Structure 1
């Protein structure tokens, strides 16, 4: 079995490699060549932590495995650790033997950012020039960097529950040579693309905060009860997702479906747009929304890419398991 420690991953994987892996696996999911297993996601009743497992099997890419991990909200303040902690395990689909254990913290950030970036590539208007960020934590910086590579944006606007954190994304904008402006939530009406990346259980972005033609990537809702945007916004939009079952049970769509504002049949897999079996955005005035719930196959795809790179660069640790 090969081990790729967390410390080595930053030197191995790039945003482009993560993007390519996620785009490819979304397409495989939509074609039926890959599928995700049901998600286990539980509150531990300890340290306010959420812990769970995501896994799947890609027949085309012969990837089998799971990610174990979750969210410990006290880590940063108490221990100086990031709040998201995870590990990816890969198995030989022919024999069931474990083949690799890969640090999952950076990979989770990269694959989540890659997923929203893939949605921007395929659903945002070509002339999108202003990007809005709701959330300014650790993950938001990865989201913004990946998104800025998808369109010739000219300006970044941002809002956060804790305004003192906005310099995190202002710095990314400055690195890209873009103007940054802190706004209140109605100010999001200026944005052509909005990424919401919070851990909220109540909506912040409302339907009347969003202008016609906007693309929204909702990336923070991955647990029953979480919610980042008003359910009425999904009723205004054409809704896309990574995995429909997760979207209606633990994703942003759970609330709109429960309120009868959206039907399961209304939700489209993003992979269908990538494959060309769905046209995606149908007009420049249409609001599109990507419900990024996070699927195990994303983690397996980027982890498999990292293992190949680690072997190539002599950084994989081989153990007799």
Structure 2
């Protein structure tokens, strides 16, 4: 007797391929800000959630590689970002951060789109800190401080300058020669720029963005003046650190996701030292939704621990796929 095959009938379907150039064409700072703000709000409402992160040193090329995934039930966005950090890429003329976002149809589980993730990672990270500035920084903030002048710093600077009427930018980088990329942006915007020491940066700044790969504190708690807002954007791995952990005990702390904040984010060190508890950290989505007041006085030090969640990547990638398809910039491939 002939056995019945359990093989599913072939049902060819089309997927979208959205390359890096197309992503740059359709996603600007405005689109990224809106997508990230919306998904943070959805997370706080319980309408979107991230899956556990996998991030490992692969034992080759000093690379870190991993997966960030999640599902937004409100926007019906399901997928995963796969990629990591290859520190030797700069010498090859490549971006150190390499990633691709894979989107699936949440109704069927079928592959929906492959979206370049390098540019989107940079623009969504900048959007995250910009969202924190928009909701937490003092309205009269005049001086922006930048700690770090790597590839992502230019995205951070441009996004931040749109959130407040900054009158000056001060910056520090371990390799001062790289500050020229930030100075060029300020010159283009007509904003005075100055390279300073880290202590002087703390003394002058009303808003500070840290965007480095540091494994030690670059800013001392005593250097930060009352009323400052900090967006700590570089710590996304166990062991990394950008600011003195005592600063988090002095500040009102917000984050994209608490689970990541206490395990791989800037808060990991303060929590380990038992000077900050999990219930003292607030998801920024609560501020966006109006269920948490955010900054409560002009003297408050507010700190946003931007660990980088998969839902950010999925939100901007989904919007990129939609806009690229509408604009005829996506390739269609039949599987």
Measured against the shorter chain, the TM-score band is: over 0.9
Paired position in structure 1 for 2:186: 173
Structure 1 residue 208: deviation in Å?
Answer: 1.1
Structure 1 residue 312: deviation in Å?
Answer: 1.1
Superposed structure 1 runs of 4+ greater than 4 Å apart = none
Cα distance in 1, alignment partners of residues 52 and 220 from structure 2: 30
Structure 1 residue 320: deviation in Å?
Answer: 1.4
Paired position in structure 2 for 1:192: 206
Paired position in structure 2 for 1:161: 174
Match of 1:271 among 262, 270, 285: 285
Q: Which moves more between the two structures, 309-318 or 146-155?
A: 309-318
Q: Which structure has the greater CA radius of gyration? A: 2
Aligned positions of 1:7-18 closer than 5 A: 7-18=21-32
* Number of residues of Structure 1 aligned to a counterpart in Structure 2: 320
Aligned positions of 1:86-101 closer than 5 A: 86-101=99-114
Q: Is the partner of 1:10 in helix, strand or coil?
A: helix
Which sections of structure 2, spanning at least 5 residues, go unmatched? 1-14
Q: Does 1:138 align with 2:162?
A: no
Q: Does 1:151 align with 2:144?
A: no
Q: Is the partner of 2:109 in helix, strand or coil?
A: coil
Q: Does 1:49 align with 2:33?
A: no
Structure 1 residue 6: deviation in Å?
Answer: 1.3
CA displacement, residues 264-307 of structure 1 (integer Å, 9 cap, x when unaligned): 00000000000000000010000000000000000000001101
Q: Does 1:37 align with 2:51?
A: yes
Match of 1:221 among 235, 239, 261: 235
Give TM-score, length-normalised by structure 1: 0.99
Paired position in structure 2 for 1:257: 271
Q: Is the partner of 2:26 in helix, strand or coil?
A: coil
CA displacement, residues 253-274 of structure 1 (integer Å, 9 cap, x when unaligned): 0000000110000000000000
CA-atom RMSD in angstroms: 0.6
Paired position in structure 2 for 1:6: 20
Q: Is the Cα contact below 8 Å between 2:22 and 2:330 reproduced in 1?
A: no
Q: Is the partner of 1:319 in helix, strand or coil?
A: strand
Q: Is the Cα contact below 8 Å between 2:67 and 2:81 reproduced in 1?
A: yes
Structure 1 residue 12: deviation in Å?
Answer: 1.3
Which sections of structure 1, spanning at least 5 residues, go unmatched? none
